[in-house]
Structure formats: C-alpha cells, structure tokens
C-alpha cells in the first residue's frame, strides 16, 4: 500500500486531494471503519491532510485513545495502555494539540490521524486503528519533515513507542537509545530516535 501511495504522490506532485463535500459529523471514535474493500483505486483516496483547527480536540483525543488501546496491545499491557491513554485527560493535553505544527488527516470528512512537530521533535503521531497501515502516518510525517526543512532544521528527534519504532525506522530515523517514561506510576519503555536532514 505504502509503495502505491508513494507512486501516486510522486505522480501527483504531492497535491492534496480535494476536501470531501460533507463536513465532519461525529468524533473519530464513532467514525465508520474505512473498509479496505471500499477504498477506491488511487489516486482517489478519500482523505485530506490539513492543519489542526481548534475544534479538532475531541476527535483527536478519540483517535489518540483508540490508537493506544487498540494498536498498542501487542507491545504494552493493559496497565501501561491505561496509563498512556490517561494522558489525554491531563491538564494541558488539549492545549498541547495546538503546539507547533499539528497536521490532521481526515478520512471521509472525519479526523482519523494526526502528527505534530514542536521545534525539532516529532511529538504526536497517532492513527485510528481502523485507518492503520494505509500510509496515512507517512503522509502526515512528510508534511512535518517538509516544514522542518523550510525552517532550516538539520535533524529531527522523537521518543518512539515500541509500536512506532519500526514506523520511524521506515522513515529513516536511527536509534539513539532506550529509555522508560513514568505515567501514573507505570513504566512505559520507548526508544529515542533521530534523523539527520542535512
């Protein structure tokens, strides 16, 4: 899928598909699954990449929690996922969504993923499990990398979850070290990674 998407991007000069006619109706947590059997042939992928808007908070929170509770099940146990997901209830989480550059992917008019760059750090990258492995996070990331290059940054760093480590490696990040972060008294292992842009 990802290779097909890149072929499409290359051919289309990274043009953003037109916005769906219908406005977002419900938070992503209730969004219908983007059924692969319904996915039209490229280049008609029905998603849109756009900057964060203030009204996105609830939908992005739902994406965050769904990604943690569902996509991370193979790498973190229930206590770890609960502690991680509780981050969305922490003071400052909603405000943090607006930090730096946050790009949102809408699927069929509803937020399905988001990614954020704050200075040289890729902070958030979360994709709703129903939209996983379709290349959406890759598309979001490349918007962030483009912005970093425009800003003249010579590297990007991230603290990758165990779920996201292969994703960042796919994007060219290299391992810088292992660490654990404490959330609600629970230890969450993660990997420091960096990518040179120069």
Ligand X SMILES: CC(C)(COP(=O)(O)OP(=O)(O)OC[C@H]1O[C@@H](n2cnc3c(N)ncnc32)[C@H](O)[C@@H]1OP(=O)(O)O)[C@@H](O)C(=O)NCCC(=O)NCCS
Binding site for ligand X (CB under 6 A): 1-2, 67, 71-72, 125-127, 132-138, 160-161, 163-164, 166-167, 170
Instruction: Give the nearer residue to ligand X in terms of CB position, either 8 or 126.
Output: 126
CB of residue 64 to ligand X, shortest distance in Å: 8
Smallest gap, in angstroms, from Cβ of residue 40 to ligand X? 18
CA angle 116, 119, 125 (to 5 degrees): 20
CB of 35 to ligand X, least distance (A): 16
Residue for token pair 């483009």: 146
Residue found under tokens 């059997």: 37
Please report how close the Cβ of residue 72 comes to ligand X at its closest, in angstroms: 5
**Residue among 40 and 152 whose Cβ is closer to ligand X:** 40
Query: What is the sign of the dihedral through the CA atoms of 141, 147, 110 and 61?
Result: positive
The residues near 51 (Cβ < 8 Å, ≥ 6 apart) are: 101, 102, 103, 104
Give the count of beta carbons closer than 10 Å to the beta carbon of residue 27. 17
Beta carbon nearer to ligand X, 82 or 132 = 132
């Amino acid at each position: 899928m990802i290779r097909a998407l890149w072929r499409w991007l290359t051919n289309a000069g990274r043009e953003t598909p037109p916005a769906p006619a219908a406005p977002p109706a419900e938070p992503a947590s209730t969004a219908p699954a983007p059924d692969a059997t319904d996915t039209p042939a490229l280049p008609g992928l029905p998603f849109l990449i756009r900057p964060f808007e203030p009204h996105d908070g609830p939908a992005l929170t739902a994406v965050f929690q769904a990604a943690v509770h569902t996509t991370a099940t193979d790498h973190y146990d229930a206590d770890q996922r609960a502690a991680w997901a509780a981050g969305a209830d922490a003071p400052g989480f909603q405000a943090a969504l607006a930090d730096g550059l946050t790009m949102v992917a809408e699927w069929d008019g509803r937020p399905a993923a988001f990614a954020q760059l704050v200075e040289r750090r890729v902070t958030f990258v979360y994709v709703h499990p129903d939209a996983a492995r379709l290349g959406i996070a890759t598309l979001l990331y490349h918007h962030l990398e483009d912005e970093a290059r425009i800003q003249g940054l010579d590297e990007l760093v991230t603290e990758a979850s165990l779920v996201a480590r292969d994703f960042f490696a796919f994007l060219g990040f290299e391992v810088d070290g292992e660490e654990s972060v404490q959330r609600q008294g629970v230890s969450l292992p993660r990997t420091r990674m960096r990518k040179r842009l120069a």
